[in-house]
Structure formats: structure tokens, C-alpha cells
Structure 1
Amino acid sequence: MITIPDKAKQFLLLILKLLIVCTAFYYIFSHFQNKKTDWNTLISYLDFTSIIILLLFSISNWTLEILKWQNLISYFKTISFLESTKQSLGSLTASIFTPNRIGEYGAKMLYYPKENAKKIMFLNFISNGSQMVITCFFGLFGFLIYSLNFTLTKSSFWINFNLNNTLLAFLGVLTFLFILFYIFRKKEFYGLSVQKLFTKTKEFPKQLWITNFQLSIMRYFVFSHQFYFLLIIFNCNISYSLALATIFIMYLFASIIPSIQFMDIAIKGSVALFLFNNFNIESWKIVIITSLMWIFNLVIPVLIGSYFVLQFKPQKT
């Protein structure tokens, strides 16, 4: 077996760090180059107070995500809030090129000894899975509010018809996935199978479960209301209940469509355009709102995470 000298390993790690950070910056730069945004119009809507409030929303969003990871990792190890921040934002930066943040599983493993790899995968599954359950629950609740708020005019009939068809398609896909999971429940991936995961979730400490779901719900409401706050800023004429219902549906659709992190803006943007256009809200406003959500909740954390990636030192075994 060929052994690689320590200096060579350090050099390769440095190259990998720089590659991740440079690619992240390239994606951000290329997005702004390709996006034809009227910055003068944007500035006319956003004042200093609005920017501070949006930043507070984003800080709250990521603080809750960091607390989630700190809570979950206490299953076998106690870490500080700062350490949880490094792991959460560093893994976010490293996973931006992978579908649905799959790379986050591998990135977080690097912070721990190899013998803890299965535990890290399991805890990531709990973290992302609980957020997905919350998204599905409120997404379906959003469908209910959406339907109840429309009278059966010709136009609203077609809105409901299209949404109901989409909901049926979603439930069909969900049923198919459940069947698929059942068939391959014993198939192992990195030593874990669906059956083992569900067995382990039953054995997971109840208090950690409760705290995890509480933080997931709070986080969901934070970024949902951040979107609603942007609708207010841009003078979008829509009621609170319908706005939240539409936002819930948007996040549901966006979460079930496989995408790379930096393509997330395109997915959410297209879904948001489809849904909010039903309320005669100008398309450019929705495009700018989804872009601002992307900047505040992904670009800024990735830039901070880039620093943690460069500071990363592999776990010694």
C-alpha cells in the first residue's frame, strides 16, 4: 500500500480547501454577472433599517441551525456553540456543489474520528429529516389555507385545479418513495440501512428529539416570515394568511426537487413565480425577493463558512 508523506497530505488538503473556496466565490460572482438586476430600483425599496432586519432574520435562521447541530451532537459529545458554527457553516460551504446538501454528510464526518462516521451520518439524517417533516406538514397545511381562501371563480378554479393536481402528484411520489424505502429497507449504505436508521430513531433520546423539532419549527417560521417581510417591503398586495400559505407551498415544492445548493435560487424562484403570479404580483418583485433570500441565507453564510474551510484541520485518528 502506497503511503503519502504528511507534507504531501497537507499540501493536497490546502489545494482542496482553496478549490472549494474559489469555486464557491466563482459561483457567487457568476450569478451576479448573469443576473440583470436593476440595482437602483432595489435600493429604492431597501433602506438601512430593512437591511438590518433582514440580517437579523438570517442570523436567527442560522443560529437555530447551529443550535440544532449542537443539540444533536450532544448525543455522544459536547461541543461549544463556536465549534458547532464552524462545523455547520464549513460543511455548508463544502456541500454547495452537491445535490440537496448530500456533501454535508461527508463534510461533517471530517471533524470527527472515523469510528464516529455512522453516528454523524445518523445525526445529519435526523437534522435534515426533521426539517423535511416540518416542511411537508406546513406545506400541506398551506394547501388547505390556499384552497379555503379562493372562491370558485373561473380563474381560481384553474389555480385550485393545477395545485390539486400537483398535490396529488406529490403524494404519488411520496407513496412511491415509501414503497421504494420498504423494498430496499435492508440495503446498507456506509453500514447504515433504512431499517437500521428507523430502529436507531426509536432509540434516540426523547429530549433531544423534542429540542430538535422545536428548533426546526422555529427556524421554519423565521425564514418563512423573512420572505413575508420582503413581500411587505416590495408592496406586494397579498393577505398574511395567503402569503404564508403560498410560502409554505413554495418551500414544500422546492424541497422535494433535487438541486445543487447554488441552483436553489432557480428552483425557488420558478416555483415562487408560478404561485405568486396568481395574485397579480409583478414577476420582477418575486425574482428580487428570492434573490435576496438566497443572498442573506446562503451567500453570506457560505462566505463566512469559507473562512472556516480554510482554517480546517483534519481529525487525527
Structure 2
Amino acid sequence: MIYLYYEIKDKKIIWSTIFNALSFQSILLLVAFSTINWLLEIAKWRNLVSNFKSISFFEATQQCLGSLTASIFTPNRIGEYGAKALYYSKEETKKIIFLNFISNSSQMAITCFFGLLGLLLFKISYTETMVWFAFKIKILPVLIATIVFACAILIAFRFKKSKIYSISIATLFSKVTSFPRIILKKTFLFSLLRFLVFSHQFYYLLYLLNCDISYPTAIPCIFSMYFLASIIPSIHVLDVAIKSSVAVYLFAKFGVLEWKIIMTTSIMWVFNLLFPVLLGSYFVFQFKFQKK
């Protein structure tokens, strides 16, 4: 909140534009976007846990929102691994850490794929000839596949000796190969739908604030923003500062006013992080340790 105050206090913000944009109907739609976003995350977690145990949707909700609240001040939400494990017996700890690794990795993979695609489209100039444009479109799949493969190798090499709660990244990667394919497919589907939901929620806010940018131009910027912000190490609660900085840089190329971008990322932060954390705090206070 302090960050937001200092960011907007010197900006020439037209508050009437914001208040007019945030009508009752638009707020309901924003709530719907965020609700769908988190329902998909909860469904994804329940799907993963079904590999060894059946849990209710309410239990999955407790674990997702409770662990979010508990990990809000940890770097890159690393505390989420330990927080979710607390809902299970000690013997199941390694399974939960592994499942959380799959959940986060699938979301990161989707973000990288669409982020790299967004960066490539972002670089395409609208003044180029249609022949050159068509050539770029044809080689896009090859470029994306090459970049994603190279990134995967670099990440695996860089972090293969790293550990999450005494479990090496290399061990976690090796276990993925023997994981049920149907559960993995559902996990990636949930991650894909989540990415599309909050990306279009971002675009909807740009539309509400009357940002002069078309959908084909905005979407690559949004994809690029989420990718670039995701690879910067940070405490999750400060996510709004990183996304604002990256978004301002990208959208400035198309003449979108800085204060509109800051307000968009701030509202996204409130709906998709602050409100879920407040709800998750209830589950944290209601939490009871598993009996040994």
C-alpha cells in the first residue's frame, strides 16, 4: 500500500475516470475473473492430490488460500511448499512438495511459452511488409520451440543441485517422468486456463480505463509482462511493484499513460492477491496441525 501511495501521489490521475470505470457491473465482472482464476487453481491442486488421496473442494480451498497467506512474505512463495505440507502427515510431506513443484512448474511453463510468444510478437513492427510479416509468422513455432527447449536445459542445469526442503530439483524432475499422464494433462490445462483468465482480466481493466490500445497489440504486451515479472526474484507481496515497472515500460511503447498502467496492475493485485490473502488468513487461524 505504501508503494502504491508513492507511485500515484505525483501522477496526474483523473480520478473521475477510475470511479466511472469501476461501476457495480464492472466490479462484479472483475470479481468473477478473480473467482474463476482461483477456482481453477484450487481445482488444479485437488487434481494433483488425487494421485494418492481424495480431498474435497473445500479442503483444497483451505490448503491453497491458507498456504498463499502463509507464504506471502517468502521469496517466490517458497513457503507455500512447507505450508501445504502442514495439512498432511509427516510421511506425506515429500509427496506434497513434489505435487506443489508440478503445480508451480506447469504454471511457469505456460507463462514462459506465452511470454516468449508475446515478446516475439511485441518485436514485430507494423510498418514491415506483409511478406516479411508472413515469414516471421511461419518461423514463430520453430523459434518458440527452440527458445523453450534451450531455457528448459539452462534451468535444469542451473538448478539441478538446488533443493526444496531437502529434496533436489533433479530428483523432482526425474519423478515427473513417472507421474500419471492424465493428471499432468489436466494440470497443464488448468494452468493454461488460469493464464488466459488473468491475462484477459488485465486487458478488461485497460478497456475500462479507456487505454488507447487495441486487443492484438495489448495481448502480446500482457503476455510479455507476466513472463518478465515471473523471472525476477521477489517477495510475493511486492509483486505489484515489479509488474507495474515492467508493464509501464512495455505499454509506454504504445503511448498508454503511466498512471493507467499502475492503476491496472494495482487493481489486479487487490483482486487476485490481497482479497485471497485476507480470505486465506481465516483458514490460517482455523488451522490445526496434523496428528503424528
Q: Normalising to structure 2: TM-score of the pair?
A: 0.86
Alpha-carbon contact 1:145-1:241 (below 8 Å) kept: no
Partners of 2:221 and 2:114 in 1: CA distance: 10
Query: What do residues 98-121 of structure 1 show as CA deviations (whole Å, max 9, x unaligned)?
Result: 011101001001100111111011
Among candidates 299, 309, 316, match of residue 274 of structure 2: 299
1:263 alignment partner in structure 2: 238
Letter of the 2:155 partner, please give it: L
CA drift at 1:198: 1.9
Distance 1:32 1:136 in 2: 27
Please give the secondary structure, in 2, of the residue aligned with 1:237.
Answer: coil
Asked if residue 177 in structure 1 is aligned to residue 155 in structure 2, the reply is yes
Whole-angstrom CA distance in 2 between matches of 1:64 and 1:149 = 35
Q: Which amino acid in the other structure matches residue 114 of structure 1?
A: K
Contact 1:99 1:260 in 2 (8 A): yes
When residues 267 and 33 of structure 1 are mapped into structure 2, their CA distance, relative to the original with a 3 A threshold, is: closer
Larger radius of gyration: 1
Query: Could you tell me how far 1:190 is from its partner in structure 2?
Result: 3.8
- Amino acid of the residue matched to residue 121 of structure 1? I
Between the aligned partners of 2:270 and 2:169, the Cα distance in structure 1 is 35
Tell me, yes or no, if structure 1 residue 95 matches structure 2 residue 71.
yes
SS in 2 for 1:279: coil
- Code of the aligned partner of 2:48: L
What residue identity is the alignment partner of 2:37? N
Question: Counterparts of 2:178 and 2:124 in 1: how far apart (Å)?
Answer: 40
Aligned length: 272
Identity %: 54
Q: Is the 8 A contact 1:149 1:242 kept in 2?
A: no
Q: Deviations over 1:85-138 (max 9, x none)?
A: 000000000000001110100100110011111101100100000000000000
Is 1:46 aligned with 2:46? no
Asked if 1 retains the 8 angstrom alpha-carbon contact of 2:72 and 2:236, the reply is yes
Aligned to 1:135: 111
**2:177 alignment partner, SS class:** helix
Q: C-alpha separation between the residues in 2 aligned to 1:32 and 1:194?
A: 36
Deviation, structure 1 residue 148: 2.7
User: In structure 2, what residue type is equivalent to 1:228?
Assistant: Y
Where in structure 2 are the equivalents of 1:103-114 lying within 5 Å? 103-114=79-90
Deviation at 1:34, TM superposition (A): 5.1
Structure 1 stretch displaced more, 139-148 or 239-248: 139-148
Aligned to 1:119: 95
> Which runs of 5 or more structure 1 residues have no equivalent in the other structure?
1-27, 153-166
- The aligned residue for residue 251 of structure 1 is 226
Equivalent residues of 2:4, 2:266 under 8 A apart: no
Q: Which residue of 1 aligns with 2:192?
A: 217
Residues 134 and 235 from structure 1, CA distance in 2 versus in 1: closer, same or farther, beyond 3 angstroms? same
Counterpart mapping for 1:1-317 below 5 A: 30=2, 36=8, 40-151=16-127, 176-182=154-160, 184=161, 189-317=164-292
CA-CA distance at 1:46 after TM superposition: 1.3
- For residues 238-286 of structure 1, give each alpha carbon's deviation from its aligned partner in whole angstroms, at most 9, with x where no partner exists: 1212111000000000000011111100000000000000110110100
Distance 1:301 1:190, change over 3 A: closer
Distance in 2 of aligned mates of 1:266 and 1:313: 34
- 1:214 deviates by 0.7
- How far is 1:45 from its partner? 2.0
Q: CA RMSD in A?
A: 2.4
Letter of the aligned partner of 1:74 in structure 2?
A: S
Q: Distance between the aligned counterparts of 2:91 and 2:259, measured in 1?
A: 50
The 8 Å contact of residues 87 and 290 in structure 2, kept in 1 or not, is answered as yes
CA distance in 2, matches of 1:101, 1:93: 10
Deviation at 1:146, TM superposition (A): 1.7
